[in-house]
Amino acid sequence: MEPANKNNSQNNGRGGWLLMQPRKAVSGYIYSAAIVLMLVMSLLFSFTITAILSAAGTDLETIQETDWYKYLSYGLYQAAYIVIVLAFTFLYKQKPREYGYRKTHWKYFVFAALLAFGLLFSLNWVNGMFVRLLSLIGYNAPESSLPSLAGGGIAGVLVVVALLPAFLEETIFRGIILDGIKDVGTVAACLLGGLLFSIFHQSPAQTVYQFICGAVFTLVTIRADSVWPAIFMHFANNAVIIFDAKYGFITNMSGGAYIAVCIVSAAALLGTLAYLIFFDKRGNRKKEGAIRPFILSALVGIVAAGVMWIAALISGITG
């Protein structure tokens, strides 16, 4: 049986039943709580806005195109993540260093940069193939809707779409959750990290991309023994997409140039992964514990996210 958290004896007054659970199970509850809280806050926001607009006789579609609505929509998820992180930190009395905010060797930031470059270009091409497969059943991927990037607006978008998600999502996934499931083995932890990250985003069009990103982010975090490189990769990925939306330096790239960049990025991705998998064994672990306690406690979140993924797929088909 997996032992309960080492801090239980001093924290029982705060956490009660939750703190008596194995650390692995707590990671699962954190995953479920993040998804459930995100969905609840989203529904409350939707119902509140709809009620206010109905009373005011204002069209919802018009409001959805405003910047304030878009900022609230993005910020709502970040607020849910903040609540989860603070609740865990308060109940467990864990310092950030204990769930990943540790110094690491500078080489892992170099690896992170190479991987981010590879994921953004070569993997984007692979994901495009998956989207084309989905289109065979009539699925149309929705276009992302960012707040205005005009003038200084790009700074606000970088905060809510790149900076906050990078810190908060990586704190939850590569920090709190990963810390509880490391003993299932490095390979299983990476695959599980990819799966959880993918369905968490509930986006059929991004399924392959998010799965591989989640697995790679997990591997880098294990090797670096720090969440910082994963935060850097996550932020860089989102930031480049935002800058491209404003300046079009990727979108407007010629076909030949884009193919060349994809080839170079694929080499960077595969080469770096090969080194981290076959040569850098830091933090490597074989299976020492069962995965069942985590799966059982994460099941609510997995099912909820899975249902939302299916709903998004159906919506993309029926339009």
What is the Cα–Cα distance from 314 to 200, expressed in whole angstroms? 17
Residue 119 belongs to a domain? yes
What is the Cα–Cα distance from 67 to 270, expressed in whole angstroms? 39
pLDDT tens digits, residue range 195-218?
999 999 999 999 999 999 999 999
Cβ atoms of 145 and 303 within 8 Å: the answer is: no
What DSSP character marks residue 201?
T
Residue 12 belongs to a domain? no
Tokens, residue 162? 């790149």
pTM above 0.95, yes or no: no
Cβ atoms of 304 and 202 within 8 Å: the answer is: no
Residue 5 belongs to a domain? no
Range of the domain at 295: 19-318
Residue 279 belongs to a domain? yes
- What is the structure's pLDDT at 15? 53
Residue 11 belongs to a domain? no
Total Cβ atoms within 10 A of residue 176: 26
- In the chain, how many domains are there? 1
pLDDT tens digits, residue range 151-171?
889 999 999 999 999 999 999
What is the Cα–Cα distance from 127 to 131, expressed in whole angstroms? 6
- What is the structure's pLDDT at 144? 78
Q: How confident is the model at residue 6 (pLDDT cuts 50, 70, 90)?
A: very low
Q: How confident is the model at residue 18 (pLDDT cuts 50, 70, 90)?
A: low
Cβ atoms of 24 and 293 within 8 Å: the answer is: yes
- What is the structure's pLDDT at 300? 97
Residue 3 belongs to a domain? no
Residue 284 belongs to a domain? yes
- What is the structure's pLDDT at 5? 47
Mean pLDDT of the chain: 89
Q: Which value, in Å, is the radius of gyration of the alpha carbons in the chain?
A: 20
Total Cβ atoms within 10 A of residue 130: 16
pLDDT tens digits, residue range 274-289?
999 999 999 888 877 7
Cβ atoms of 23 and 2 within 8 Å: the answer is: yes
What DSSP character marks residue 289?
S
Range with lowest mean pLDDT among 65-69, 91-95, 302-306, 308-312? 91-95
Cβ atoms of 247 and 154 within 8 Å: the answer is: no
Residue 1 belongs to a domain? no
- Per the DSSP assignment, residues forming a β-bridge with 4 are 22
